[in-house]
Chain A
Amino acid sequence: MTTTATRPATPPRALSASRTTATAARVLRQLTHDPRTIALLILIPCVMLFLLRYVFDGSSRTFDGIGASLLGIFPLITMFLVTSIATLRERTSGTLERLLAMPLGKGDLIAGYALAFGTLAIIQSALATGLAVWFLDLDVTGSPWLLLLVALLDALLGTALGLFVSAFAASEFQAVQFMPAVIFPQLLLCGLFTPRDTMHPALEAVSDVLPMSYAVDGMNEVLRHTDMTATFVRDALIVAGCALLVLMLGAATLRRRTA
């Protein structure tokens, strides 16, 4: 019999850097065995932007507005979907129960997922932004880096929302239905279709508390101003704050003991 290392009896902490990165690496490694998902994640936003550009072939002003908003909305939607399904699978396959019986902090798991999908979101957003700005002539007054920053925050928000709703879904069918339930109302109210101040006052008030409104607002700030405006900073902070809040709510839905 070989001599083996005994498990160290260090009490687990809420957040450990090495366990978080191990989790992120594992999630990304799972994806590398699924190249089709990666291809879809990266290509769909580009194809949609390409399509949009020629749908509004005659009015490039319209493309500027909608294109910039969509750069913020795509990462939110795709990360929402990917995360809700991935964490649901973790819950139903028993791996979540196994991990929580091990010295893994809930924060490690959530931060690991956020880190992995955040990385993916950076690649996705960088490609989509690059395509829009350099090849589809999206006319951005501000820095494309700021567009990328908002896109990344949106992706984090999507990851957070996906993680959170997966707790309320018992099957993949239900998880997918949460997409229209959680995302569509925000899509309608975020100012993509019509400026928010022209909506019915009640709807405008609702849109004021939905995080996607600030994501789109932030994108439009970059579109119109050369500098980082105070409104942009406010928008970015609100989106980041919402993402953090929902991530913490998501952590609360992970229970070590279940019935």
Chain B
Amino acid sequence: MMNNAPGSPRPGPAPIPGQSPDPDTPAVHAENLTVVRGPRTVLRNLGFTVPRGQITGLLGPSGCGKSTLMRALVGTQAKVTGTLDVLGRPAGHPTLRTRIGYVTQAPSVYDDLTVRQNLDYFAAILDPGRPAADRRDADVTRAIADVDLTTHADALAGNLSGGQRNRVSLAVALLGSPELLVLDEPTVGLDPVLRRDLWNLFHDIATGRGATLLVSSHVMDEAERCHRLLLMRDGELLADDTPDVLRTRTGATTVEEAFLRLVDEAKAAARTKETTR
């Protein structure tokens, strides 16, 4: 039932839920990834791999380059050097545009359209043409239900609360069941109940629909809900591991503590490097 990529070379048996539909290529593979914005180098020589069918958390303080990395992945960031492959293609490849769902930090929806009208439009861009109208309708209804906005489907997006607008933006990214979801701080400004519901949805999407999720956050307690973590600071990668391994390695009880210890280690290493110079 799951989304085997159309045109994917692997005919084989139906993938087991929770397993990647195409295990040969990782969802994301980066090597020496560097991004320059104006005079600043925002990302410095990143190298990492994001496995398919899992939730990978991208964590770090605000301003550390999380959003830039996400923009590079979806192909909207200029001045990207190094290797960055997404779903087996170089990031920004035209065929990737239908296979990735992307949610920016600020809700990017039309305030002067209703929730359903917003989704109808984006669905028509992803899957155009009159013959697809029924499929689009079902898809839109499902996406609205996924983010729990069915009762608000006919409300103007501009009249919704900040958290609700965020969820409209998320619903747009869920349209068409993309293989990779890139979510930039999707739970900011949401109450605990909604946050739990959304994380349940994310797990559902990863295990039930076999999609890969890359979720950024600067709230460390969300890290515990991810399968893997990329910890970032100042445009560099501090760690790339599972929450469990991170905690054990640093002898910490929480991911937050582990992150702080890694930052201290990095600072100490930088100091010794400077003094030995």
Chain A interfacial positions (CB closer than 8 Å to B):
1-12, 16, 18-19, 22-23, 25-26, 29-30, 33-34, 93-95, 97-104, 255-259
Residues in A whose Cβ lies below 8 Å from that of B135: 5
- Complex CA gap A256/B102 in Å reads 14
Residues in B whose Cβ lies below 8 Å from that of A22: 121, 124-125, 128
Q: Check B124–A95 contact: CB distance below 8 A.
A: no
Known A2-B138, A4-B3; 16 more pairs at CB < 8 Å: A2-B142, A7-B99, A7-B127, A7-B176, A9-B6, A9-B95, A11-B94, A26-B113, A29-B121, A33-B112, A95-B109, A97-B76, A101-B75, A256-B76, A258-B77, A259-B37
Q: Check B75–A5 contact: CB distance below 8 A.
A: no
25 contacts between A and B (CB under 8 A): A1-B204, A1-B208, A4-B209, A5-B138, A5-B176, A6-B4, A7-B6, A9-B98, A11-B94, A18-B124, A19-B125, A26-B113, A26-B117, A33-B112, A93-B106, A93-B110, A98-B104, A98-B122, A101-B100, A103-B125, A256-B75, A256-B76, A257-B78, A257-B80, A258-B78
CB nearest neighbor in B for A255: B78
Residues in A whose Cβ lies below 8 Å from that of B1: 1, 3
Q: Which of B5, B77, B204 contacts A257 (CB 8 A)?
A: B77
Residues in A whose Cβ lies below 8 Å from that of B13: none
Q: Check B74–A101 contact: CB distance below 8 A.
A: yes
Q: Which of B97, B110, B204 contacts A12 (CB 8 A)?
A: B97
Q: Check A101–B97 contact: CB distance below 8 A.
A: yes
Give the B interface residue count (CB, 8 A).
Answer: 55
- Least CB distance from B94 to A in Å reads 5
Q: Check B38–A259 contact: CB distance below 8 A.
A: yes
- CB-CB contacts below 8 Å: B42-101 with A: 74-80, 92, 94-95, 97-100
Contact with A along B1-22 (1 / 0, CB 8 A): 1011111000000000000000
- Evaluate whether A102 and B126 lie within 8 angstroms (CB atoms) in the complex, with A5-B135, A256-B75 already known: yes
CB nearest neighbor in B for A94: B108
Residues in B whose Cβ lies below 8 Å from that of A30: 110, 112-113
Contact with A along B196-209 (1 / 0, CB 8 A): 00000000100011
Verify if B216 is at the interface (C-beta below 8 Å from A): no
Residues in A whose Cβ lies below 8 Å from that of B110: 26, 30, 93, 95
CB nearest neighbor in A for B105: A94
- Complex CA gap A98/B102 in Å reads 7
- CB-CB contacts below 8 Å: B145-175 with A: 156, 172
- Complex CA gap A25/B133 in Å reads 15
Verify if B187 is at the interface (C-beta below 8 Å from A): no
Residues in B whose Cβ lies below 8 Å from that of A18: 124, 128-130
Q: Check A104–B204 contact: CB distance below 8 A.
A: no
- Complex CA gap A16/B128 in Å reads 9
Verify if B178 is at the interface (C-beta below 8 Å from A): yes
Q: Check B92–A256 contact: CB distance below 8 A.
A: yes
Q: Check B117–A7 contact: CB distance below 8 A.
A: no
Q: Check A97–B126 contact: CB distance below 8 A.
A: no
Q: Check A4–B94 contact: CB distance below 8 A.
A: no
Q: Which of A6, A25, A34, A94 contacts B104 (CB 8 A)?
A: A94
CB nearest neighbor in B for A26: B121
- Evaluate whether A98 and B78 lie within 8 angstroms (CB atoms) in the complex, with A7-B177, A22-B124, A30-B113 already known: no
Verify if B139 is at the interface (C-beta below 8 Å from A): yes
CB nearest neighbor in B for A258: B78
Residues in B whose Cβ lies below 8 Å from that of A2: 138, 142
- Least CB distance from A163 to B in Å reads 18
- Least CB distance from A228 to B in Å reads 38
CB nearest neighbor in A for B178: A7
Residues in A whose Cβ lies below 8 Å from that of B75: 101, 256-257
- Complex CA gap A2/B130 in Å reads 22
CB nearest neighbor in A for B17: A1
Q: Check B108–A97 contact: CB distance below 8 A.
A: yes
Residues in A whose Cβ lies below 8 Å from that of B98: 7-10, 102-103
- Complex CA gap A6/B76 in Å reads 23
- Complex CA gap A100/B71 in Å reads 12
Q: Which of B92, B108, B109, B139 contacts A4 (CB 8 A)?
A: B139
- Least CB distance from A85 to B in Å reads 12
Residues in A whose Cβ lies below 8 Å from that of B4: 6
Q: Check B6–A93 contact: CB distance below 8 A.
A: no
Q: Which 3 A-B pairs have the closest CB atoms?
A: A94-B108, A7-B176, A22-B124
- Evaluate whether A6 and B176 lie within 8 angstroms (CB atoms) in the complex, with A1-B204, A94-B104, A99-B125 already known: yes
